Amino acid sequence: MLGKIEDKASAVESKDIVVPIGPFHPALIEPVYFRLWVQGERIVNADIKVGFCHRGIMRLMEDRSFQRNIYLAERVCGICSHSHSTAYCETVEQLGDIEVPDRARYIRTLVFELERIHSHLLWAGVGMDLIGFETLFMLLWRDREQVMDLIEAATGNRVIKSINTIGGVRRDISKDMLGKIEDKLKVLEKATLNAVEAVVGDPIIKARVKGIGILTTADAKRMGAVGPTARASGVNIDVRRDDPYSAYNEVTFDVITRSEGDLYAKVEVRLLELLQSISICKQCVDKLKTLGGSIVAETIPEFAPGEEAFGKVEAPRGELMYYIVSNGTNIPERVRMRTPSYVNNPTLPLQLIDETIADAPIIIAGIDPCLSCTDRMVEVIDAKSGKSETNTLREIALRYGRKWRRT
Amino acid sequence: MPSVRAVKEVLKAAANCATIKYPYGPPAHLPEGFRGKLQIDPEKCVACGACAMVCASGAMRRIEGDAKVGVKVEYPRCIFCGQCRDSCPTQAITLTTEFALTSDRLDDLVLLNELEVAKCQICGKPIASKKQLEWGLRRVLDRINPVVKQAVQQDAAKYLNLCIDCRRSNSLRLKIHTTKYV
Amino acid sequence: MLDYTPLIVLANFFLFPGFAFSFIVSWFFYWVFRKLRARLQARRGPPWYQPLIDLVKLFSKETILPITAQKTYFILAPLMALASLLLALILMPIGFTSAPAAFVGDLIVVIYLLLMFGVSTALAGSASGSPYGAIGASRELSLIIGYEAVFAAGALVPALAAKSLLLDNIVALQAGGNWLLVRFPFAAVAVLLCIAAKLKVKPFDMPDAKQEIVAGPFTEYTGPLLGIWYLAKMLAWFVLSALFVDLFLGGGDGLVFPLNLVSFLIKCFVVVVVMTIFEVANARYRIDQAFSRYLTVIFALALIDIIRFWVGSYLGWW
**Same domain, residue pair A34 and A145:** no
- Please compute the mean of the pLDDT values over residues B169-180 and round it to a whole number: 78
Class of B30-181 per CATH?
alpha beta
Q: What pLDDT does A130 receive?
A: 81
In chain C, domain spans: 8-312
Does any domain span residue A117? yes
Confidence of residue A11 (pLDDT cuts 50, 70, 90): very low
- pLDDT digits (tens), chain C, 318 positions: 567 788 887 888 888 778 889 999 999 999 999 999 998 888 888 999 999 999 999 999 988 888 888 889 999 999 999 999 998 988 888 888 778 777 888 899 999 999 999 999 999 999 988 888 888 898 899 899 988 999 999 998 898 888 888 888 888 888 877 888 888 899 999 999 999 999 988 888 888 777 677 788 898 899 999 999 999 999 999 999 999 999 998 887 777 878 888 889 999 999 999 999 888 888 788 888 888 888 888 888 888 888 988 888 888 877
> Do B71 and A148 form a contact (C-beta atoms < 8 A)?
no
Q: What pLDDT does A13 receive?
A: 54
**Same domain, residue pair A27 and A75:** no
Nearest of C273, C209, C230, C276 to residue C37 by alpha carbon: C276
| Percentage, residues of chain A above pLDDT 90 | 35
Say which residues have a Cβ less than 8 Å from residue B143's Cβ, sequence separation at least 6. Answer: none
Q: What pLDDT does A376 receive?
A: 53
Would you call C282 and A139 a contact, using CB atoms and an 8 Å cutoff?
no
Phi/psi at A22 (nearest 5 deg)? 105, 180
A160 vs A379 pLDDT, higher one: A160
**Same domain, residue pair A239 and A303:** yes
Enter the pTM of the model. Answer: 0.85
What's the one-letter identity of residue A176?
D
- pLDDT tens, residue by residue, A159-206: 999 999 999 999 899 898 899 999 999 988 998 888 888 887 777 788
Q: What pLDDT does A388 receive?
A: 57
In chain B, domain spans: 30-181
A404–B contact, CB cutoff 8 A? no
Would you call C283 and A129 a contact, using CB atoms and an 8 Å cutoff?
no
Does any domain span residue A312? yes
Kindly give the interhelix angle for C71-90 and C106-127, rounded to the nearest 10 degrees: 160
Would you call A204 and C203 a contact, using CB atoms and an 8 Å cutoff?
yes
Residue A243 burial (10 A CB sphere; 0-12, 13-18, 19+): middle
- Please compute the mean of the pLDDT values over residues B160-172 and round it to a whole number: 86
- Please compute the mean of the pLDDT values over residues A133-158 and round it to a whole number: 88
CA angle A330, A333, A339 (to 5 degrees): 110
Instruction: State ipTM.
Output: 0.85
CA A122, CA A368: separation in Å to the nearest integer? 10
Sign of the torsion angle spanned by Cα atoms A151, A321, A379, A48? negative
- pLDDT tens, residue by residue, B59-99: 999 998 888 999 999 999 999 999 999 999 999 999 999 88
> Do A379 and A44 form a contact (C-beta atoms < 8 A)?
no
Q: What pLDDT does A9 receive?
A: 41
Shortest alpha-carbon distance between residue C278 and chain B (Å):
7
B178 vs A284 pLDDT, higher one: A284
pLDDT tops 50 at residue A3: no
Burial code (b: 16+ CB inside 10 Å, e: under 16) for C145-176 equals ebbbebbbbbbbbbbbbbebbbbbbbbbbbee
CA A340, CA A349: separation in Å to the nearest integer? 17
**Same domain, residue pair A38 and A62:** no
Domain that holds residue A258: 57-355
A71–B contact, CB cutoff 8 A? yes
C241 vs A41 pLDDT, higher one: C241
Q: How many CB atoms lie within 10 A of CB A211?
A: 11
Would you call B7 and C43 a contact, using CB atoms and an 8 Å cutoff?
no
CA A369, CA A366: separation in Å to the nearest integer? 8
C189–B contact, CB cutoff 8 A? no
**CB-CB neighbors (< 8 A) of B14 in chain C:** 39-40, 42
- Please compute the mean of the pLDDT values over residues A74-98 and round it to a whole number: 91
Q: What pLDDT does C8 receive?
A: 82
Q: What pLDDT does C190 receive?
A: 92
Across all residues in chain A, what is the average pLDDT? 83
Nearest of A372, A377, A375 to residue A391 by alpha carbon: A377
**Same domain, residue pair A18 and A148:** no
CA C232, CA C120: separation in Å to the nearest integer? 11
pLDDT tops 90 at residue A391: no
- pLDDT tens, residue by residue, A308-348: 999 999 999 999 999 999 998 989 999 998 889 888 888 88
> Do A138 and A121 form a contact (C-beta atoms < 8 A)?
no
A14 vs A72 pLDDT, higher one: A72
**For testing contact with chain A, the best of B1, B4, B8, B9 (most A CBs within 10 A):** B9
**Same domain, residue pair A160 and A294:** yes
DSSP SS3 for B41: coil
Q: What pLDDT does A407 receive?
A: 34
CA B54, CA B51: separation in Å to the nearest integer? 5
C49 vs A1 pLDDT, higher one: C49
Does any domain span residue A404? no
| Chain B, window 14-73: residues with a beta carbon less than 8 angstroms from a chain C beta carbon | 14, 16-21
pLDDT tops 90 at residue A280: yes
What's the one-letter identity of residue A148?
M
Q: How many domains does chain A contain in total? A: 2
pLDDT tops 90 at residue B178: no
Q: What is the CATH number of the domain that holds A295?
A: 1.10.645.10
A389 vs C19 pLDDT, higher one: C19
Q: What pLDDT does A392 receive?
A: 58
pLDDT tops 70 at residue A378: no
Say which residues have a Cβ less than 8 Å from residue A113's Cβ, sequence separation at least 6. Answer: A277, A278, A280, A281, A284
Q: What pLDDT does A4 receive?
A: 34
Would you call A135 and C206 a contact, using CB atoms and an 8 Å cutoff?
no
Q: What pLDDT does B181 receive?
A: 65
- Please compute the mean of the pLDDT values over residues B155-159 and round it to a whole number: 84
Does any domain span residue A288? yes
- Please compute the mean of the pLDDT values over residues A207-229 and round it to a whole number: 88
Does any domain span residue A364? no
**For testing contact with chain C, the best of B17, B20, B22, B24 (most C CBs within 10 A):** B17
pLDDT tops 70 at residue A404: no
Task: Say if residue A23 is preceded by a cis peptide, omega within 30 of 0.
Answer: yes
Confidence of residue B33 (pLDDT cuts 50, 70, 90): confident
| Percentage, residues of chain A above pLDDT 70 | 87
**Same domain, residue pair A42 and A76:** no
Q: What pLDDT does A258 receive?
A: 92
**HEC states along C229-268?**
HHHHHHHHHHHHHHHHHHHHCCCCCCCCCCHHHHHHHHHH
pLDDT tops 50 at residue A368: yes
CA A363, CA A34: separation in Å to the nearest integer? 12
pLDDT tops 60 at residue A406: no
**Same domain, residue pair A288 and A379:** no
Strand partners, A323: A310, A336
Confidence of residue B145 (pLDDT cuts 50, 70, 90): confident
